[in-house]
Amino acid sequence: MTQQNTVESFEIDNGIGLHSGKIAKLRFLPAKEDTGVVFKRVDLPSSPEIKATFDHVVDTQNSTNLGFDGKMYVRTIEHLMCALYMFGIDNVLIEINNEEMPIFDGSASKFIDVFKKQKLIQQNAPRKFLKVKKEVSFTDDKGNQVSIKPKDAGLKVNFEINFPSPVVGHQLFSAEINEEIFQNELIDSRTFCEKFQVDYLKSIGLAKGGSLDNAVVLDGETILNPNGLRHEKECVNHKVLDLIGDLYTSGTQVVGEISASKTGHFHTNQLLHKLFRDKNNYEII
Ligand SMILES: [Zn+2]
């Protein structure tokens, strides 16, 4: 049986937020069994804390953002959440002194590099898993769909994307999520966008911190990043990284098989709401 883990205290250097352009520093602190992942805004009066759960997600426009009472507290948590999931960190308090997670290179690499230098502390409670018992799916009004169905053990992800850019085009990912696939395909796969999207995002006040240092930018048939892609299927790989991070807002690791077609943060969040609405859909083991 796998035990829950927490961490010893450590910090991560300052980094810029992708959408806000604001600089933030993170401090990780140990947390008790069954705490989960909790963020604390130490720059705000009374330092509000918010648990990283799907029902605290208040905005999914281009990133996963936590808040409550009409306020947004922590933005763009998904890459860090994926790193915590894959590294097996169950309980942690993360202090942040601004509104958005640093984006670093647009992937989970930086978080994993730092985690590898820390000592995990094994705790006195077994890890809990969310085991899917009934298939649940969410389809948007364009027909894009994400579904999750039962599986004996582990997490399998099937992801399909189809982008107009000929550099991306149609890409498929289908694999059991394990240490090997995470190391080889997912960790360093960066967020991506089209150049015209960057212009639009900037016009609506997003992507203020975006640059070729933290995102793959496509312009028609050209990749604007001088060193090109890190993986042939870096774009779909990154979508899987986001999906795992968003799944971790379930509060536990997941046993099931997910199939997603052209979906994003919004769809995964809707799927979790739907799954948790009926206790017959799942069990916590
Ligand atoms: Zn992402």
> Is 79 part of the annotated catalytic residue set?
no
Q: Are residues 141 and 42 in the same domain?
A: no
Amino acid at 259: S
Q: Are residues 134 and 96 in the same domain?
A: no
What does the pLDDT profile of the chain (285 residues) look like in tens digits? 799 999 999 999 899 999 999 999 999 999 999 999 999 999 999 999 999 999 999 999 999 999 998 888 999 999 999 999 999 999 999 999 999 999 999 999 999 999 999 999 999 999 999 999 999 999 999 999 999 999 999 999 999 999 988 889 999 999 999 999 999 999 999 999 999 888 898 899 889 999 999 999 999 899 999 999 999 999 999 999 999 999 999 999 999 999 999 999 999 999 999 999 999 999 999
Q: Are residues 212 and 245 in the same domain?
A: yes
Q: Are residues 147 and 264 in the same domain?
A: yes
Residue 55 belongs to domain spanning? 3-126
- In angstroms, what is the span from residue 125 Cα to ligand 1's centroid? 31
pLDDT at 69: 85
Pairing mode, strands 216-219 and 192-194:
parallel
Final residue in a domain of this structure, among 126, 151, 186: 126
pLDDT at 277: 98
Q: Are residues 153 and 266 in the same domain?
A: yes
pLDDT at 276: 98
pLDDT at 72: 85
Q: Are residues 118 and 161 in the same domain?
A: no
Q: How many independent structural domains does the chain possess?
A: 2
Final residue in a domain of this structure, among 93, 126, 159: 126
* pTM for this prediction: 0.97
pLDDT at 87: 97
pLDDT at 197: 87
- In angstroms, what is the span from residue 108 Cα to ligand 1's centroid? 9
Q: Can you tell me whether residue 242 is helix, strand or coil?
A: helix
Final residue in a domain of this structure, among 111, 126, 141: 126
- In angstroms, what is the span from residue 284 Cα to ligand 1's centroid? 27
* Residues with a beta carbon under 5 angstroms from ion ligand 1: 191, 242
What is the rounded (10 degree) CA torsion for 135, 143, 80, 13? 180
Q: Are residues 278 and 161 in the same domain?
A: yes
Helix count (H) and strand count (E) of the chain? 6, 20
Catalytic residue chosen out of the listed positions 19, 79, 238, 265: 265
- In angstroms, what is the span from residue 36 Cα to ligand 1's centroid? 21
Q: Are residues 109 and 150 in the same domain?
A: no
Q: Are residues 191 and 73 in the same domain?
A: no
- In angstroms, what is the span from residue 89 Cα to ligand 1's centroid? 19
Q: At what angle do helices 109-116 and 78-87 cross, to 10 degrees?
A: 40
Q: Are residues 142 and 50 in the same domain?
A: no
Pairing mode, strands 136-139 and 145-149:
antiparallel
- In angstroms, what is the span from residue 119 Cα to ligand 1's centroid? 26
